[in-house]
Amino acid sequence: MNWQQLGRHPSLAIGLMAATLFALLGLVSLWWTPFPIEQISIARRFLGPATEHWLGTDHLGRDMFSLVMRGTLTSFVVAGLGVIIGIGVGVPLGLAAVAWGGMVEWLVLRLSDITFAFPAVIVAILIAALFGPGEINAVIAIGIFNIPVFARVARGGALAIATQDYVAAARLAGLGNAAIAARHLLPNIMSLLIVQGTIQLSLGILAEAGLSYIGLGTQPPATSLGLMLRDAQSLFLIHPWLSVVPGLTIVLIVIALNISGDGLRDAIDPRLRHEGLNHGAG
């Protein structure tokens, strides 16, 4: 893919740019925020947007823009690690199902069926309730519900490739199942995985926000977009702005990631436009 291709898919360009912008905002917050996020100043609380505080201040007088930056980082990190767990475990499972077939395939499929039977966020709540609230458990929860998604996608993509002549040739040349999966199947489903990864990232951000909102995700004094919503909810009738800021940020990030995902899918393989890739519905 090059810049020219990007130009042919304006929604992809916009989505990628917006998603990158948010990711950068989050990254920058590691080194710099307009105000330190731990700094509490009750005298300055509930200030509306102004030149000093671009997005105003929250109920503890913390700068909302700084909180949004750090919250975005938390959201991306938690969702991103969740996706990495999903890929790291799910893709080998899916590839193994194709390469070995038989019992292995049956087992992998039934395991993903079982996981799919529970709505993703319910699984996440269960995990967070069992192991206690916190960012790490949110990562694990999001990771677990990503595993079957990637297992399915990897298996679906690999099935189509496994019937190709060059795979048969490799097998004749004496390559084992694992080598075929690694050398021939995996590189050819890479684009599928990238597209699915983008979509799962947006679902992960929603899940993280949901978990933090019900108090099972990020814990104060750290912050995340869901936690900001939680803090603001009892103040909604008095200071609606405090809910609007993190709410809109979540919406924008998710839209950006979704149109990036859709755009990537169209750009990478136009034939896929009307097929598959619906596994991610969570």
Partner 1 sequence: MTARNTLALTVAGLLLMAGPALAQPTEIRIGVALEPPTLDPTAGAAEAIDVVVYQNVFEGLVRIDQTGAVQPGLAKSWTISEDGLTYRFALNEGVTFHDGTAFDAEDVKFSFDRLLAEDSVNAQKALYAPISAVTVIDPMTVEFTLSRPDGLFLFNLGRGDAVIVAPESAANNGAEPIGTGPFAFIQWDRGSRVVLEQYGPYWGEAPALTRASFVFISDTATLTNALLAGDVDGTNNFAAEALAVFENNPQFKVLVGSTEGETILSTNNRKEPFTDLKVRQAMAHALDRQEIIEGATYGYGVPIGTHFAPHHPYYLDLTDTYPHDVEAAKTLLAEAGYTDGFSATLKLPPVAYARLSGQIIASQFAEVGIELELINMEWAQWLEDVFANKDFDLTIISHVEPFDIGIYANPDYYFGYDNAQVQALNETLNATTDEADRLALAQEIQTIIARDAVNGYLFELAQTGVWNAKLDGMWQNAPVEGVVLRDIYWVE
Name the minimum Å distance from CB 33 to partner 1: 15
Position 179 contacts partner 1 (CB under 8 A)? no
Interatomic CA distance for residues 219 and 134, integer angstroms: 6
First to last CA, the chain: 29
The distance of closest approach from Cβ of residue 188 to partner 1 in the complex, given in angstroms and rounded to an integer, is: 47
Query: Is residue 59 involved in binding partner 1 (CB under 8 A)?
Result: yes
Cβ distance to partner 1 smaller for residue 176 or 220: 220
The stretch among 33-41, 67-75, 78-86, 142-150 that binds partner 1 (CB under 8 A) is 33-41
Interface mask toward partner 1 for 222-261; x: CB under 8 A = -----------xxxxxx-----------------------
In the numeric block, the tokens 């750009």 are attached to: 267
Two tokens, residue 24: 């950068």
Distance CA 255, CA 15 (A): 8
Residue with smaller CB distance to partner 1, 40 or 272: 40
| Given 42, 117, 130, 281, the residue binding partner 1 (CB under 8 A) | 42
- State how far the Cα of 141 lies from the Cα of 135, in Å rounded to an integer: 10
Which residues in the 113-132 window bind partner 1 by CB under 8 A?
none
What residue spans of 163-185 are helical by DSSP H?
165-172, 177-180
**Which listed residue (6, 18, 21, 60) binds partner 1 by CB under 8 A?**
60
3-state secondary structure of 234: coil
Cβ 45 vs Cβ 13: under 8 Å: no
Q: Does 133 bind partner 1 (CB under 8 A)?
A: yes
257 within 8 A of 195, measured Cβ to Cβ: no
> Which residues are CB-contacts of 265 (< 8 A; sequence separation ≥ 6)?
195, 272, 273, 277
Q: Please, which residue, 7 or 132, has the CB nearer to partner 1?
A: 132
Tell me how far, at minimum, the Cβ of 234 lies from partner 1, in Å.
4
Dist CA 212 CA 198 (whole Å) = 21
| Nearest-approach distance from CB 133 to partner 1, in angstroms | 8
CB atoms within 10 A of CB 249: 24
Please tell me the distance from the alpha carbon of residue 52 to that of residue 245, in angstroms, as a whole number: 17
Question: Using CB under 8 A, which of 10, 38, 176, 183 touches partner 1?
Answer: 38
Contact range with partner 1 by CB under 8 A, out of 58-66, 79-87, 116-124, 248-256 = 58-66
* Total residues at interface with partner 1 (CB under 8 A): 19
**Number of DSSP helices (H) and strands (E) in the chain, helices first:** 11, 0
The residues of the shown chain that bind partner 1, judged by CB under 8 A, are: 38-40, 42-43, 45, 59-61, 133, 219-221, 233-238
